Copies of this chain bind each other. A is one copy, B any other.
Amino acid sequence: MRQLFQEIRRNPLLWLLAFVPALFAVQRMKPEAHTLLFGLSVLAIVPLAALLSHATESVAVKTGDAVGGLLNATLGNLTELVIALAALRAGEYTLVKASIAGAIVTNSLFMLGASFLLGGLRHHVQEYNRVNARLQAGLLFLATVALLVPSAVGGADGASKSAFVTSLSLGLAVLLIVAYGLGLWFTLGTHPEIFASAAHGEEEEAPWPLGLALVTLAGVTLLVALVSEVFVESVQEAALDLGMSQAFVGFIVVALVGAAAEMASAFAGARKNRLDLSVGIALGSASQIALFVAPVLVLASYVLGPTPMSLQFWPGAVVMMLIATMTAALVTNSGKSAWFIGVLVLTVYLVFAMTLYLLPPSG
């Protein structure tokens, strides 16, 4: 417990934890203050995500390579998953899909671009292992393409026959989870050396004892779930007040908030001239959303949601996801980076954000 407090004293990001009790207090006293609740829940999720990430890594270190890697890979996007599950239970499928699409775009454009920019401001030209980067970009592209088939075929045909799309989404979810399982076996079992450098980088922080880590993991997951519920309840009214479309909130705000902890690691890696680490986190995290989080949510919708959720995205989201993964593939192709590459990748992200912000709310 002392270690937990030490950690909190050392890491200014964790001071935001003060917003967690503040959120619950406001929720009790002013349940109709949607915009305030929205702001507080965003601020409360960031430090919880950081704690979750540290706890996962500590458990991973203690349990040895294979199980630890598995945990790390599976729980790496736990925050995104918990937020999306809260939205799923509330039947907010538009928000769920926007957050899936947004997480892929944010990881492969914002996290990658900001890493290149931050790294490039310190180092003239940064080189990284381009064979691994290409392999990971290839995996991300394939995962995204598989995820987008229902939208592409359904949308291209102008036929949104719902029975067809629903059964296709279910079959696809099963296929993707099988592919994800095989991917874990590949990463941890048969070919761990390809992803070695990325895993290595995170161990610099001091791990917690197993007991503390497990308790933190359980407690913080519960807190994230409670905060997410407030977040999902307040987001729609708050978006109206703030003049933001729901697409913007799901795509940009939720995605940035959910990935805050991973971004901290990726940016630190870039500044230390370890771009392999940054690229691995950004592309790996995006792949995981497509291969694991998205299909789990489809399956969960059969249990938790009012109706089965399909994997049909709105056409603009499809275009953005495809462009984001192709950009990631093209940009990591040369194995070299300089600050302007980061600027251009961020420009594409800003263009997307601007588009979503300006999009009429009805769209």
Q: Which residues of A contact B (CB under 8 A)?
A: 124-125, 131, 134-135, 137-139, 141-143, 145-146, 149-150, 152-153, 156-157, 159, 161, 164, 167-168, 171-172, 175-176, 179, 182-183, 186, 190-191, 194, 314-316, 318-320, 323, 326-327, 329-331, 333-334, 336, 338-341, 343-345, 347-348, 350-352, 354-355, 358-360, 363
| Nearest opposing residue in chain B for A194, CB measure | B338
Give me 19 other A-B pairs in contact (C-beta within 8 A), A186-B343, A190-B339 excluded.
A124-B190, A134-B330, A138-B334, A141-B330, A142-B347, A149-B352, A152-B316, A157-B314, A157-B363, A161-B363, A164-B358, A168-B354, A172-B354, A175-B350, A179-B344, A182-B340, A183-B343, A190-B338, A333-B333
| Nearest opposing residue in chain B for A131, CB measure | B334
Main secondary structure of the interface of A (DSSP, over half): helix
> Given that A146-B348, A175-B354, A316-B157 are known contacts, is A186 also in contact with B339, CB under 8 Å in the complex?
yes
> Given that A125-B191, A152-B316, A316-B152 are known contacts, is A142 also in contact with B358, CB under 8 Å in the complex?
no
B363 lies within 8 A of A149 (CB): no
Q: Point out the residues of chain B lying under 8 angstroms from A352, CB to CB.
A: 149
Q: Point out the residues of chain B lying under 8 angstroms from A340, CB to CB.
A: 139, 182-183, 186, 190-191
A134 lies within 8 A of B316 (CB): no
| Nearest opposing residue in chain B for A182, CB measure | B343
Pick the contact of A351: B131, B167, B175 (CB < 8 A): B175
A313 CB to closest chain B CB, in angstroms? 11
> Given that A327-B141, A333-B134 are known contacts, is A171 also in contact with B318, CB under 8 Å in the complex?
no
A248 CB to closest chain B CB, in angstroms? 12
A12 to B329 alpha-carbon distance, docked (Å): 43
| Nearest opposing residue in chain B for A345, CB measure | B142
A144 to B105 alpha-carbon distance, docked (Å): 18
